[in-house]
């Protein structure tokens, strides 16, 4: 499943195996990007217009996956 973020770029739903192969810096960058996208979605929510409400749970799941892997790498 592909996720489309507001700037038009596509990101794939991240698999745990793929994330484990990334460096700590790459994981932190992905986490930052996802949190920015979640912020934009929340702004749309409070503005009264959300085109893809299912994206909230997908992005939150990816953030949780990344945070889990970061904790494992400590």
Distance CA 33, CA 31 (A): 5
CA distances from 10 to 34, 63, 73 (A): 12, 16, 27
Domain span at 15: 2-72
* Number of domains into which the chain is organized: 1
- pLDDT band per the 50, 70, 90 thresholds, residue 12: low
**CATH code: domain of residue 31:** 1.10.287.310
Name the residue among 30, 11, 33, 37 with its Cα closest to residue 69: 30
pTM for this model (two decimals): 0.78
Residue 71, pLDDT above cutoff 70: yes
Express each pLDDT in 26-37 by its tens digit.
999 999 999 999
């Amino acid at each position: 499943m592909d996720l489309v973020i507001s700037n038009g770029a596509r990101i794939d739903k991240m698999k745990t195996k793929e994330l484990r192969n990334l460096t700590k810096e790459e994981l932190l960058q992905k986490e930052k990007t996802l949190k920015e996208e979640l912020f934009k979605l929340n702004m749309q929510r409070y503005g009264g217009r959300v085109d893809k409400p299912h994206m909230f749970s997908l992005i939150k799941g990816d953030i949780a996956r990344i945070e889990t892997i970061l904790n494992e790498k400590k």
